[in-house]
Amino acid sequence: MIQILLLIICGLVLLWFGHFLFFGPMSPIYPYMPWSKKEKLKEKPGDPQICPLCSMKMLNGENLKTTAFPAKQKSTDHLMHIKGCSGCLERNLPRMCPVCRTKLSVEDFLVARMFERSFQKNHVHVLGCNKCRKI
């Protein structure tokens, strides 16, 4: 009876050790696991919670300054202007258009199309800035 209990305990210890050897933080495949908490080193303008103008990570609760225009007829997409986050507008961070890569001033804005979704967050597609995308 004691031998069976010892074999079960040894088996559980080996399973625990094998799990952390192959799926733990020191494993070479750990960054590709969906539960890994590694931060991305470089932010891209299209990533969530990243300002498309200055590429800075926005804080929780921080929003972009935008102007959305009403949709024509009964479509679910709206034209909108994205002016930037508070970092762009107040701290004069360098701003760049993600489409044509030109430097933008504080008065410039991005032209985007916002698609409304009923059960998900709205989707925004940046078309360009007011210099490369004439309205």
Whether residues 132 and 75 share a domain: the answer is yes
Q: Within this chain, do residues 27 and 71 fall inside the same structural domain, yes or no?
A: no
127 is a domain residue: yes
Do residues 51 and 81 both lie within one domain?
Answer: yes
pLDDT of residue 41: 40
In sequence order, which residues have a C-beta less than 8 Å from that of residue 35 and are 6 or more positions away?
none
Domain span at residue 23 reads 2-32
82 & 24 share domain: no
Asked if 70 and 95 sit in the same domain, the reply is yes
What is residue 35's predicted lDDT score, i.e. its pLDDT? Answer: 53
Mean pLDDT of 90-111: 87
Please answer whether residues 100 and 132 qualify as being in contact, where contact means their C-beta atoms are separated by less than 8 angstroms. yes
pLDDT digits over 19-53, tens only? Answer: 777 777 666 666 566 655 544 444 666 666 788 88
Does 106 lie in the same domain as 54? yes
H helix runs in 1-135, sequence order: 2-23, 86-90
Q: Which two tokens stand for residue 98?
A: 């993600």
Which of 5-9, 21-25, 54-58 shows the highest mean pLDDT?
5-9
Q: Which residue has the higher pLDDT, 4 or 20?
A: 4
pTM: 0.61
Whether residue 37 is contained in a domain is answered as: no
What's the one-letter identity of residue 36?
S
In a shared domain, residues 123 and 78: yes
Residue with tokens 């034209």: 79
Segment 70-76 shows an average pLDDT of 77
Q: Do 50 and 8 share a structural domain? A: no
Whether residue 38 lies inside any domain: the answer is no
* pLDDT value of residue 42: 45
Residues 24 and 81 both lie in one domain: no
Residue 12: pLDDT band (50, 70, 90) is: very high
Total domains, the chain: 2
Q: Which residues contact 117 (CB under 8 A, 6 or more apart)?
A: 76, 123
Distance (Å, whole) CA 71 – CA 17: 58
| Residue 60, pLDDT above cutoff 70 | yes
- Identify the pLDDT of residue 43: 61
Beta bridge partners of 5: none
- How many secondary structure helices (H) and strands (E) does the chain include? 2, 6
CA distances for 50 relative to 32, 57, 58, 70, 113, angstroms: 22, 5, 6, 25, 17
CA atoms of 98 and 93, how far apart (whole Å): 15
Percent above pLDDT 70 for the chain: 80
